[in-house]
Amino acid sequence: MFNKLISQILPYVPEKVVWVFSKQYIAGETIEEAVQAAKNLNAEGIMTTIDVLGEFIKNLDEAEANKHEYLEVIEAAEKANVDGNYSLKPTSFGLLIDKDTAYRHIREIVEKAASYNNFIRIDMEDSPCTDLEIELFRKLKEEFPKNVGLVLQAYLKRTHQDIENLKDLNSEDAPLNFRLCKGIYVEPASIAYKKYEEVNKHFLEDIELMFQEKMYPAIATHDKPIIEGAYKLLEKYKVPKDKYEFQMLYGVTPALRKSILEQGHRMRVYVPFGKKWFGYSTRRLKENPEMASVIIKALFYKG
């Protein structure tokens, strides 16, 4: 009840108040702020993936504007020699309005990144988007084998089979690059694991399959048991340090992040920015009220 109450109240709280805690987890509103945040992380030996906040647009004019913003982000980050790549949400480009238009916009962004020998990560959104986003990824991967990756969500019961189904795209020269996270959207129990132990078990099973198939997993977690489990799998399969990475969110668990780096593992931090940070944050809270307690803690305990 407390979490639900907070999730309902927060959208009406002045943005300046919400920004007090949000600024720990969002790089800023401008491209310049995002690039500077990425450079600061690079100075610590951390790679980045820059993401423009926003999704679920209402019309295709917004999709066009989002495409141009991403092209500007890539230009600015490459000019600044940022050690990082880029993440995007297909619904920001009209996936649920016109999937062909969304494909054309995203293809142009991938082509731009490829011109710099760089990489675009296709984020996975809620379950109505899953098949569409896998289809989009498959099409782009066939044309740009080294320049596009996908996010998968361990709590979805289908994910292990999705990895199996995409094996035909895997190759030694251009291994499948999957960012595996737990998943944040509220999904029905019929399609998603709900228990903490269940999700963790399947997370590690998915990572193990990727190692077995010599894919490139980006292990996206702040959960110590998963990190410890990943260490054991790395040892079991003798995985070279350049064949995987860990990923974390901007501003979250910096001490744990540092410990992973100190053990010699590659680390990439997800750097979100943009003027739509407030709507993005409050919408996420409405979708998943359990996040409210995390937000309250963030007001008092940095990181």
Catalytic residue among 123, 257, 266, 268, which?
123
Of the candidates 215, 141, 145, which has an alpha carbon nearest to the alpha carbon of residue 177?
215
For 1-23, b/e burial (b = at least 16 CB within 10 A) is eebeebbeebeeeeeeebeebbe
d(CA 196, CA 133): 26
d(CA 197, CA 181): 15
State the amino acid at position 265 in one-letter form: H
d(CA 227, CA 230): 5
State the amino acid at position 164 in one-letter form: E
Catalytic residue among 107, 179, 257, 266, which?
179
Distances (CA, A) of 253 to 102, 224, 229, 281: 34, 11, 18, 19
Q: Is 138 one of the annotated active-site residues of the chain?
A: no
Q: Is 123 one of the annotated active-site residues of the chain?
A: yes
Q: List the catalytic residues.
A: 123, 179
